Amino acid sequence: MQFMEDYLREVKQQHLYRQLAAFEPVDATHSISEGRKYLILASNNYLGLTHAPAVQQAAADAVLTHGSGSGGARLITGNHLYYTLLEKELAAFKGTQAAIVFGTGYMANVGTISALAGRQDVIFSDELNHASIIDGCRLTGAKIVVYRHADAIHLAECLRGTPCTGRRLIITDGVFSMDGDIAPLPAIVELAEHYDAMVIVDDAHATGVIGPGGRGTAAHFGLEGRVHVQIGTLSKALGSEGGFAVGSQLLINYLINRARSFIFTTALSPATVAAARAGLNELISRPKLVEQLHSNSDFVRSRLAGVGFTIDKGETPIIPLQVGSAATALTIAQELKQEGLIISAIRPPTVPAGASRLRIALSAAHNQAELAEAIEKIAAAARRLAII
């Protein structure tokens, strides 16, 4: 199988070869790998809810009461009661008529987008949208127009310049996963209303993170009711697994009948959905969690700026540190691992060549003394490599 060997050799030469490492979580911010304990600055466990006692208990109770798996697709026998409850709770939380839960956020994007557009339509997609959005767009067969990142002026030019006989869809991440910046949703919504386009916002990194009570990007900008579809995941801030879409009852009925990644897959286990419900309940009933996340993010941004990094003013727990080449990003990530820190090195093709970076992701569960110590180690490594 020469083609596989050729591919992997090429990838290794470019410092882009990927391997799996085993991590055994011991709490929301630490894992053991090969006998050593690490501080994790690379997970999406934004509120630490994977280890909230109420969430763990909900999952354990559900396993003992209803078994370990759902045993069927949602439209056959897999639609256990936790689903109905969670979907009601998600819709209420987001202030929409209805919600639908998918197996993952990836499947929510792929299924929703491919159900909403077809060959005669045009999709306008931010150039830094998540891979699951890109894959969903490709499945539609629609014309895909990629606009410059977070650039509403370019989006306007694209809308004006692209003839369309069918429907128009505008799709964007709410909070972008690599840089943690927020989409210019007010301008996008204005343009969508002018061009009669549907707006889909992927709030994977926004739910539980931005907006009042962590209700996401539309709420952050006061645009509830003007975004047609909000996508989210149960696997990041909510501490479980699964994805969702919220919107009108009509939209949800349509997706139940049309979204192939909803129809042709086994339902999530009772424990997974019960844990997601408990996670959502924690988010709603403990507003201090979101405050703590922001306090940790502000703390780390100001400390990193203090040691000489160029830090964009940001409002999210994702903090990119530009380091340049893929090789440098890997070296610094490896050195930090030696010192007990797990921080992702983000390299091409995820980001353009020469724009490799370390990506720090914070949790409400981090404690600031430990974060301060981590920043000292990051600064020392960056000085050794002449990054700061």
Ligand X SMILES: *Cc1c(COP(=O)(O)O)cnc(C)c1O
Positions touching ligand X (CB under 6 A) are 104-106, 109, 130, 132, 173, 177, 202, 204-205, 233, 235, 243
Query: Nearest CA to 238 among 27, 90, 79, 60?
Result: 90
Q: Which of residues 29 and 177 has its CB atom nearest to ligand X in the complex?
A: 177
Separation of alpha carbons 330 and 368, rounded Å: 26
CB of 353 to ligand X, least distance (A): 22
CB of 233 to ligand X, least distance (A): 4
Query: Catalytic residue at 236?
Result: yes
Residue 56, classed as helix, strand or coil, is: helix
Q: Which of residues 106 and 309 has its CB atom nearest to ligand X in the complex?
A: 106
Separation of alpha carbons 93 and 262, rounded Å: 22
CB of 298 to ligand X, least distance (A): 22
Separation of alpha carbons 374 and 247, rounded Å: 41
CB of 44 to ligand X, least distance (A): 7
User: Would you call 369 exposed, middle or buried from its count of C-beta atoms within 10 A (0-12, 13-18, 19+)?
Assistant: exposed
Q: Which of residues 155 and 175 has its CB atom nearest to ligand X in the complex?
A: 175
Q: Do the Cβ atoms of 97 and 210 come closer than 8 Å?
A: no
| Phi-psi label, residue 269: left if phi above 0, alpha if psi -120 to 50, beta otherwise | beta
Nearest position to ligand X, beta carbon: 105
HEC sequence for 249-312? HHHHHHHHHHCHHHHCCECCCHHHHHHHHHHHHHHHHCCHHHHHHHHHHHHHHHHHHHCCCCCC
Q: Which of residues 132 and 272 has its CB atom nearest to ligand X in the complex?
A: 132
Q: Do the Cβ atoms of 146 and 125 come closer than 8 Å?
A: yes
Query: Under 8 Å CB-to-CB from 17, ≥6 apart: which residues?
Result: 8, 11
Q: Which of residues 52 and 206 has its CB atom nearest to ligand X in the complex?
A: 206
CB of 173 to ligand X, least distance (A): 5
Q: Which of residues 240 and 328 has its CB atom nearest to ligand X in the complex?
A: 240
Query: Catalytic residue at 94?
Result: no
CB of 132 to ligand X, least distance (A): 5
Tell whether the torsion through CA atoms of 8, 11, 12 and 18 is positive or negative: negative
Query: Catalytic residue at 177?
Result: yes
Query: Under 8 Å CB-to-CB from 10, ≥6 apart: which residues?
Result: none
Q: Which of 177, 235, 269, 363 is catalytic?
A: 177
Q: Which of 30, 220, 236, 366 is catalytic?
A: 236
- What residues are annotated to the active site? 177, 205, 236
